[in-house]
Amino acid sequence: MRSEAQQSPARDLAATAGAVERLIALEPDAWQELFQQHHRRMYNFAYVRTGDPSLAEEIASEVFAAAAQAIARYRPTGAPIAAWLYRIARNITADHLERRRRHPQTSLDGVEIIATGWAPAIERSADLAQVLRLLTREQQEVIALRFFDDCSLAETAAALGRSVGAVKVMQHRALAALKRHLGGSRL
């Protein structure tokens, strides 16, 4: 179920009268509202793509910093402002992943986690994060938007700049790949 902050595009901050003008004027209340409505969604999107909670948090914060710098150039298209934020998140995440690819860091994957009661949940989460990284970038984005952020097909299509039909195909292929990689277990 969607929280109030994740309601339909009509509830999106940009849909309110004068909201974009308030954002352009860099009014703190407008930016706080935008942040509260969309920060978790930007974090989820980045986390699914990176599998790294601290990097996802960094990316989510960078999205709002980049949005503040670019808001004067924002032009309403009829899509919710979340679609614009997702495009920013998509670009920032791609930049981080490219830097990570060029400059790999030592992994702590081999470190044994000793936390009674947490181990199964951590293991399932780590397995899912590892399998998600096997998907294509667009498949990861569709999964993040549809299932982690509870976006509709139309919202996902707007965020990715694709048609609803293309999103349906990507979602189907992503779920089939996840099922294949997870050994056919029920999704």
> Which tens digit of pLDDT belongs to each residue from 5-38?
444 444 454 455 478 889 988 899 999 999 999 9
Whole-angstrom distance, CA of residue 175 vs CA of residue 172: 5
Whole-angstrom distance, CA of residue 18 vs CA of residue 134: 42
Long-range pairs of 40-43 with CB within 8 A, sequence gap ≥ 24: 40/5, 40/149, 41/6, 41/82, 41/85, 41/86, 41/149, 41/151, 42/85, 42/86, 42/89
Whole-angstrom distance, CA of residue 50 vs CA of residue 96: 9
Residue 118 pLDDT: 39
For 112, which DSSP code? Answer: P
Provide the b/e sequence for 140-173 (b: ≥16 CB within 10 Å): bbbbbbbebbebebebbbbbbebeeeebeebbee
Phi-psi label, residue 52: left if phi above 0, alpha if psi -120 to 50, beta otherwise? beta
Give 10-residue mean pLDDT values along the chain (187 residues). 42 60 90 94 92 92 94 83 93 90 58 43 61 86 88 90 93 89 64
The answer for residues whose C-beta is within 8 angstroms of residue 187's C-beta and 6 or more apart is 175, 178, 179
Residue 19 pLDDT: 83
- At the second CATH level, the architecture of 4-107+115-181 is Orthogonal Bundle (1.10)
> Which tens digit of pLDDT belongs to each residue from 164-178?
999 999 999 999 888
